[in-house]
Structure 1
Amino acid sequence: MPVALPTAAAAPAPAPAPAATYVGPQVLPTPEPTATPEPAAAPAPTSTPEAAPAQTGDALPWWLWFLGGIVVATGAALLFTRLRRNQAAVVEDIEPVAPVPVLPPEPVPPPPPPRPVARPEPVVPPPAPVAPAPGPFLEFQLAPLRVAMEGDRILLDFDLTVGNPSETPVPEVRIATMLLTAHAEQDEAIATFLANDGKRGLDPFALGAGERRHLEATMTLPRVAVNIVTAKDRPFFVPMIAIDARYRWEDGRESRTTAAFMVGPTAPQGKLAPIFTDRGDRVTDRLEVRLYGQVRRT
């Protein structure tokens, strides 16, 4: 009868001695060999079998290796961190650098003023033809001689001096005169007289260059046309004379001079006295004239 070979009991594993930590692939335990029954054989002398080689039961489990790896990694990290801190703590003393003054930016020059736009020159119209300057006019000087009252009329004797101060002869001079007395509508009466181109006057005459001529004439006015004014119970009137002189120069120019005057005896303070009518017919001389309005020359 076959007898099973006794299986050698596994020797107790010795306590692991401190050794270098293994870092490498995981080591798995080696499976135990299974005894194979041998066929019956002739009895042979029994020999004591040698002890089986010790199995790899002394290898650490994998989880211990994993924990060991974590511990090693943690220690390495702590060591690296400490080295970094030591390096950061070593700071070289660096001399302070004076700050570089910041220069203000250079002023930007103002842009040049815009160039003035050239304006087109205004078109200057051609000068208008210059009208010829008015030539000299004849000069007139009126000197009253006397005022007389004769029945139903009054008379005025006067001397009119006409002078030509220019060097141009005047072939024709025509002078018209009107005698009136002062009244409320005297301005209208004088304007009507001057506007009448067909009125009769003194006989025409010529006047040479630089020549002067004295003309004596008498004008009459009906008594009914005399405007009598009463002041302080004394009736009186103020004679007036209007003159319209028209003349033609030798070069063809025509000129005209008009004026009106008041006539009367000289009174104090340069005034003219009226002609009183309460003493009957009489003659008054020593007369003077005062310009009424202004002399018009055209």
Structure 2
Amino acid sequence: MSDSNTTDFTNPSTFILLGIPGLEAAHVWISIPFCTMYTIAILGNFTILFIVKREPSLHLPMYYFLCMLAVTDLVLSTSILPKMLSIFWFNYREINFSACLTQMYFILSFSAMQSGTLMAMAFDRYVAICDPLRHSTTLKNPVMAKIGLAVVLRGVILILPYPFLARRWPYCRTNIIPHTFCEHIALVKLACTDISLSSYYSLSVAFLVISLDVFFIAVSYTQILRAIFSLPTKDARLKTFGTCGSHLCVILASYIPHLFSALMQRFGHNVALHLHVLIVNVYLLVPAILNPIIYGVRTQQIRDRLLQPFTHKGT
């Protein structure tokens, strides 16, 4: 390590990413499941985008939002994995200061967009089930575009102060980040100044993004469940519930790992550092893998379109 890692400095030119502290000897082996996960995420989400684009019957609000979710998954996984694999395979640990802030920004902003997309999908399911006669008139293409733009702008604007605040901090302790990527909390811990403004802003953003999104999703599904249970027959209830089953699975796959990671950061002071790093990486990657699989398996239109080349061969 160079002396700049331990001497005083205010604006380091580079940071050093340690990967998974304590498991450096196993980095090559750990890279195998992560590389597999990344490959599945890339293939699965591009497949979703390709099928929705090629199939006119899927040009509906639900599938447009699904495409937005696929794009956020692609960007999130690509923001993390290439640098992680360069650490695991080539021991290339350095990352430029500006590149570090850019990576942090992309991860946070697209995580916010992912949460907003899940909320928009819940609204789509609410209108489709609770007011089906107005679904096609309520969610027209101009309305869809406005919702999508609002989700994107919220993620872009709310997260924008993070890198600007981080750029102003003095880093006089070290430039070593015990992580596989430039995680915001790990970066905050390196600053040797008052970071209360950043802490308050982070809490405000967490409330405005995650808490409100979860609240509106919960309200939407409360109304959806009330509408489902008011249906006269069991078959009608099961069929209607099946139309939002995929979205419920995706919500659980996205928010449960995130909640578990947040609780680990807040209360898991005795948890080993390498376990914490692994959990954070997994919670960012798991939704990117599961989302296309869940929709591919549970959505008949996507499943039929995906199996079409094989069924044609068999006939």
Scaled by the length of structure 1, the TM-score of the pair is: 0.20
Q: Which is bigger in relative contact order (C-alpha 8 A, separation at least 6)?
A: 2
The structure that is helix-richer by fraction is 2
Report which of the two has the higher share of strand.
1
